[in-house]
Each structure stands twice: as C-alpha cells, then as structure tokens.
Amino acid sequence: MRFFITDDDMCTTQMLNLARVQKWIEANGNTVVEDVEDADKILCMTCNGWSLLEELSYNRIKSYSKDHADKMIVVGCLNDAHPDQVKEIWTGPTVKTAGNKPYSFAGIEDFFPDFTVKLEDIPAQSVFRRKEDYRDYNLSKRFVNINEGCAFDCTFCTHKPGLGERRSRPVDGILGQIKECVEEGVRIVSLMGMETSLYGPDVGSNYPELLKAVLDYNDSYEVHVAQFQPDGINRYYDKLLSLFQNKRVTDIQIPIQSTSPRLMKMMNRQEHSHKIGPFMKSVREFNTRAILRTDIIIGWPTETEEERIATLDFAGNIFDEIALYTIELSPARPAWKFQKDAFSEEELAKIRQSSIDYINSKYSNVVVHSGQQDDNTMKAAEKKRMELRKSREALV
C-alpha cells in the first residue's frame, strides 16, 4: 500500500510522533510516496495551535477531500480540539492525537487491522521525517519526547485541548532511545514535551530522577532542558538545583510568562519568581556553560506598563535569551472572557517592539526576539544563541 502524508504545521513533539507513524507504515511493508496521485491512502495532518494553523488545516481537509475523499484519513489535534467543526466539512475517518498511550495517533491502528507490526513496537523517534522539517538540520542534536500532553490547564492555551493530559514515558524507554543516540555519536540530547517539569508521577518517577538517570547513563553528550514549567522548580528545588548545575546541562528553558501574580491568576498559573530568581542565579554560579532561556507573555489583557517592565527587568537580569509572545485569545478557551479588555493588533505590535527595544537598550548581552513562531525570526535567534554558546564554552 502506498501512503501520502500531507504537509503539516505541527510542533516538534508531534513531528516526532508522525515520524514514528511513517516508520510503522514502512515496517508493515508499505511505502510513503511524494505524489498524492500515486497514493492508496492519504493522511491529512492537522494542527490547532492557533487560528492561522486551524484555518490551514481546514483548508487542507477541503482541498484533499475534493478529489480523494475515498482515500483520506484526517489525523491530528483538530480532531481532539474541534471535532464538531471538523464534522461540518468531513464525515470520513479521523484519528485523534491524544489517548491513553505515551505517544500520539495510536487510533490509526484501528483502520489497518491486518498490519502485523504494532505502532507501540516501533521505537520513539528522535529524527524528523523530512530534512525540510528542521530549522537547523543538525543530526548531532536529537529530540527525545519524555511525555505527551500537559498536566496544567492554562486559560489561554489552545494546545492542551489537542494534545490531552500528561502521559509519561517510562525511564527505561527513554534511556533506550538515548542509547541509540550514543551509538550514533549524538552530541546533544534535548528532553522534549509540551510541558516537561511534571514528567513522571504516572509512571512512578519524576523529572529529577529522569534527568539524573540521563546524565549518569553516559557522559558523551550534553543535555538540553526544554519547556520546563516553573512549578517544577517550586516542587523539586533542592534535587533539581544540583542537576542543573551540572556543566553538561547546557540549555535550560523556563517559560515564566509573567511576574505579576494578578496576570498569572488570569492565566491559571502559579507565580514563582521568588524561587526562580535565586534558583537560576545559583545555577549560573556553578554552570557557566548553560544558556538560560525564558518565554514571556506580553500585552495580556489589562496588563499595565509597570507589570510588563517588572517582568522584563526580572528576565533581563537572569536569562540569556527572552522570547516575547503576545497571545491570540481563542473563543474556545476560558481566557476568551478577557477579550473585551484585549489590546488591538496594532497595539500588540507596538508592545512587542517597545519590549524588544527596552531589553536591547538595558540588557545588551541578552538575546531577545518576538517568538510568534516566525521561522526567520527563530533562525536569527538560533544563530545568536550559537554565538552565545561558543562564548560560554570558552569559560570552561
């Protein structure tokens, strides 16, 4: 059987899950083809990350179903987050992202009962399906999903409805994947997930235990900590500190979002700056190699300039890189009730630029960018980060 997989706009975690699906297809004697006209089956991929990606997904469904409805299966987060809207344009087979497995798209097996190799028998992937999926194609750095979904429920987040609740992978499975990375000479292992700080309770573990096991397994690679919610610092402060101080931990991303308790309550998040500050300074004291990164939400409805500047100053004094985001409120999420107080797009653009200018003028050594998932912006930030990392390595 020949499969065609459409273009997709998915996050890193889901691109790795899709790579696993492709390996499963091939392990069962099938092929993935480049031309939709050559395909017996079409996997139409979707994403609900924000309105632009939702619209692209709806258009993709409409476009491919026009001539290939009999071959198509609609796959991905749109089915989880907006099933009724999907049904308005597509009544054929669908595969959700979330489930009770520590990997995504498990429901696809229901449509291929004759496949002898199970999806769970295919190892988790650390390489994307296509070279085009990389901003920086560098196979000496590998991404390792440690869990799926999220344990939190932020009022603004459109990702959680698509990705579902936290589902952690067992430690031994993660170490088995890292073993393959070591055998292939990988230099950097990035521990990934939508949110990683609350990894593990569902499999009898936690993030400090996992990170210690990853560091102890082999000393041939560096470790990057990604998408680590500050609540993890609050929960595991002492155990985590010594691990983050290890000089092999060379990149730590802690998305603080804001230092305003008022705004964080509106986001349904806890504000932990009183612990984050001392923690990160202690990390820096012993681990001069690490690049410390954070994400900040600016222009939240009713945010005052004083609240924004306080957050920028806190981040500028602690972190090496700051990604500034403005949030697009979704009618499907609880934060929509704040829409009446939201800034206009023109106002948000000015807030983003003035915040960048503020950081550049006051904290000249900090890499700052307005994230917003723009590839050119992110590539430029990655280049600056690499330069910063080289300067840090010289300190060792």
Mean pLDDT, range 352-359, rounded to an integer: 96
What does the pLDDT look like over 52-74, one tens digit per residue? 899 999 999 999 999 999 999 99
- Return the amino acid letter for 13: T
Separation of alpha carbons 354 and 324, rounded Å: 11
Looking at residue 379, its pLDDT comes to: 64
Locate 195 and state its tokens.
Answer: 């949110």
Cα distance between residue 148 and residue 163, in whole Å: 7
Residue bearing the bigger pLDDT, 378 or 73: 73
Per-residue confidence at 371, pLDDT binned at 50, 70, 90?
Answer: low
pLDDT for 137: 79
pLDDT at 393: 67
Residue 142: pLDDT over 60? yes
Give yes or no for residue 375 having a pLDDT over 60: no
What is the share, in percent, of the chain residues with pLDDT greater than 70?
A: 95
Q: Are 289 and 246 in contact (CB under 8 A)?
A: no
What's residue 388's pLDDT? 74
DSSP H helices in the chain: 12-27, 51-68, 77-81, 83-89, 159-163, 171-183, 207-217, 231-244, 261-267, 273-286, 305-318, 345-362, 375-393
CA distances to 53, 226, 262, 268, 353 from 271, rounded to whole Å, are 30, 19, 9, 10, 25
Alpha carbons within 13 angstroms on the beta-carbon side of residue 132 total 4
User: End-to-end CA distance of the chain, in Å?
Assistant: 54
Asked if residue 348 has pLDDT above 90, the reply is: yes
Residue 136 has what pLDDT?
A: 78
Encoded amino acid at 216, one letter:
D
Task: Tell me the pLDDT band of 132, cut-offs 50, 70 and 90.
Answer: confident
Q: How confident is the model at residue 130 (pLDDT cuts 50, 70, 90)?
A: confident
Residue 241 has pLDDT above 80, yes or no: yes
* Cβ within 8 Å of residue 113, ≥6 positions away: none
Which pLDDT belongs to residue 135? 77
Q: Is the pTM of this model over 0.85?
A: yes
- The CATH architecture of the domain made up of 135-393 is Alpha-Beta Horseshoe (3.80)
pLDDT at residue 376, as a whole number:
60
Residues 17-22: what's their mean pLDDT?
96
Q: What does the mean pLDDT of the chain come to?
A: 93
What are the backbone angles phi and psi of residue 114, rounded to the nearest 5°?
A: -85, -10
Weakest mean pLDDT among 230-239, 330-339, 369-378: 369-378
User: Residue ranges per domain, the chain?
Assistant: 2-121, 135-393
User: Which of 3-12, 82-91, 287-296 is the least confident region?
Assistant: 3-12
CATH code given to domain 2-121: 3.40.50.12160
pLDDT at site 209: 98
Q: Using the predicted structure, report yes or no on whether residue 167 has a pLDDT greater than 60.
A: yes
Check: CB of residue 234 under 8 Å from CB of residue 275: yes
**Confidence (pLDDT) at 380:** 65
Residue 374 confidence (pLDDT): 54
Percent of the chain exceeding pLDDT 90 equals: 87
pLDDT mean over 246-258:
97
Q: Of the candidates 324, 330, 303, which has an alpha carbon nearest to the alpha carbon of residue 156?
A: 330
Three-state secondary-structure class, residue 301: coil
Query: For residue 387, what pLDDT band results from cuts at 50, 70 and 90?
Result: confident
What letters, b where the CB count within 10 A reaches 16 and e where it falls short, cover 139-153?
eebbbbbbbbbbbbe
